[in-house]
Amino acid sequence: MANSPPKILVFDSGVGGISILQKVQQQLPWCEYIYASDNRAFPYGTKDESELVARVDLVLKVLTEKINPDIVIIACNTASTVALPKIRSHFQKPVVGVVPAIKPAAQISSSKVIGLLATPGTIDRPYTQWLIDDFAPTCQVIKAGSSRLVEIAEEKIRGKAPDLEELRNIIAPLFTTPELDTVVLACTHFPLLGEELASVTPRAIQWVDSGDAIARRVASLISTAPADAAHPEGFDYFLTANAGVTANLVSGLKNFGAREIRSLEI
C-alpha cells in the first residue's frame, strides 16, 4: 500500500494563491493539496494590520484543526508581511510565507532599475522598504500600486477576459524610465495575469514572482518522495463563505484542477 503523501495547505483571501499552488505542485506532484480562500474577508489589502492578523489567525486555526496539514503556505504577500510572526508563534507545523521577490529581481536586472507591482498596502508597508534597502540597495525601484489588478485576476478565473487597455494603463507608471528591465509581481494574484501583462508592455522585460522560491522552500521541508508515493490529482478547495460562488467560478477553479469545492463557515 502506498504511503500517505504529505498534506499541504495553501491559503489566501482569494484565488491568487493558485499561482503559488501551481509552482509547488510542479515541484512536488506527489503531495496532497488543499487550497483555502478566505473570500468572506476578501480583499486582505484593505484591512488594517490588527484586523488582518486576527482574521488570518482565526481562519488558519479552524483550517488546521479540520485539515491537519503538514505544511501551511500563506500565499498572500499582505498576510505574510503582517501576520507570520503571530502565526508561527503558536502553530506547531511549518508555516511558509510569501514576500515580494525583490532579491532575485535585483540579482537578475542588468540595468539595476526594477519595478515593483503590488497592492497599495504592500507598496506602503515598512517591510517592503526593508526588503528594498537590504536586497536592492544599488537599484532604482519604481513602484506601482493597484488593487484593481486583484479584481481583474478574480474576474479572469470567473471567465471574464481582462481589458488589455485597462492593464496597459495600470502598468504605465512603471515604464516612465527607459532603463527598467525587470518587474516584481508582488501579489500572488498578478502571475495569473502574466500573459496579458506581458502583451501590453511597451518593450520586453523580465517578470519575477515568488512561486519558484516558495516551491524550493517547501521542498526543503519535505523528505524525498518514497518509491511507492501516490500522485494525487488536483486539489480540494475550501471557501469561508458561499457568497459569490457562481457556476463560472466553479468552472474556472476546476480548470485549475479543483476537485471538490466546499464551504467552511468562519
Which residues does the annotation mark as catalytic? 76, 187
Query: How far separated are the first and last CA of the chain, in Å rounded?
Result: 36
- One-letter amino acid of 191: P
